[in-house]
Structure 1
Amino acid sequence: MRRMILTSLLLTLGATAMAGQVYTWVDKQGVTHFSEQPPSDQASSTLNTVAPAPRLPAAEKLPPVQSNDPDQETIERKVKRDIAIQEAKRQEYCETVRTHLAQLENNPRLRAQINGEMRRLTEEERQTRIADAKRAIEGSCR
């Protein structure tokens, strides 16, 4: 607890120290210097420090953007329709892959059509297909 208080105090003091004035000047050799303290033997100027960015309201508090442009509304409807179609295809794919996975896991003696002929899958082929199905589910399905 004591360490947390000390850390937060140091962070607070460090942030306020960084927000101080910055002085700049050029010495006789033409080298530009930057410092928190102005030089005592020559003129210096202060740099404009950047003010922190204003805080934006949370996204849910922002009002929805209203568009009076019919073309924009048409585009938005098309995009929403396309997203809904893609989501439906993804869900259908996930359901198919889950069904195949269940068949592979629950049935050790499966037959598949490979190169135009029906034959029984070896245990190695079955395990490979199970791993492929699990990867597909992890990558595409929630």
Structure 2
Amino acid sequence: MRHMILTGTLMLALSTTAMASQIYKWVDDKGVTHFGAQPPQGQPATTINTATPPPRSEPSAPAPSVEEQLDPEQAAIDKKVKEDVAQQEAERKQYCDAARTNLAQLENNPRVRIEEGGEVRRIGEDERQERITELKKSIVDNCQ
């Protein structure tokens, strides 16, 4: 069984090189380029190497970027919008970090005190649970 598998694998590996034949390229009297497996009678033909691909040609100039294609006024507007979005994202991240910290404090500490109008007071369990619920809802709505 091993012998048959080894023979089959070897035949398969060698079949790709055996099937690669010469390809000829020539131009006829009318200037039309032809390709074929047999060279033409009485015309010069060149053989094409099918083992290696032809070299890639480099583009003469890089494609202009999107910003270069836009007019300067539109580019300035786009830049301003991107800056505004980045600032809003930073503010949202800061809010989310503070909300998660406050939620952890409320969940882990049953004796929470807050400062209102210069006075410090302890919040009750009902108010604590209400604030926990509000913070969880706010985190789900704004931070995910």
Alpha-carbon shift at residue 68 of structure 1 (Å)? 3.3
1:119 correspondence with 2:130: no
TM-score (norm 1): 0.52
Matches within 5 A, 1:1-142: 67-142=69-144
Percent identical among aligned pairs is: 51
1:112–1:118: 8 Å Cα contact kept in structure 2?
yes
1:112–1:119: 8 Å Cα contact kept in structure 2?
yes
CA RMSD of aligned residues (A): 1.9
2:67–2:75: 8 Å Cα contact kept in structure 1?
no
Alpha-carbon shift at residue 119 of structure 1 (Å)? 1.0
Find the aligned partners of 2:135 and 2:80 in 1 and give their Cα distance.
32
1:67–1:73: 8 Å Cα contact kept in structure 2?
no
Amino acid aligned to 2:107:
E
TM-score (norm 2): 0.52
The gaps in structure 1 that reach 5 residues or longer are: 1-63
- What is the total number of aligned residue pairs between the two structures? 80
The gaps in structure 2 that reach 5 residues or longer are: 1-65
2:103–2:136: 8 Å Cα contact kept in structure 1?
yes
Amino acid aligned to 1:135:
K
Alpha-carbon shift at residue 117 of structure 1 (Å)? 1.6
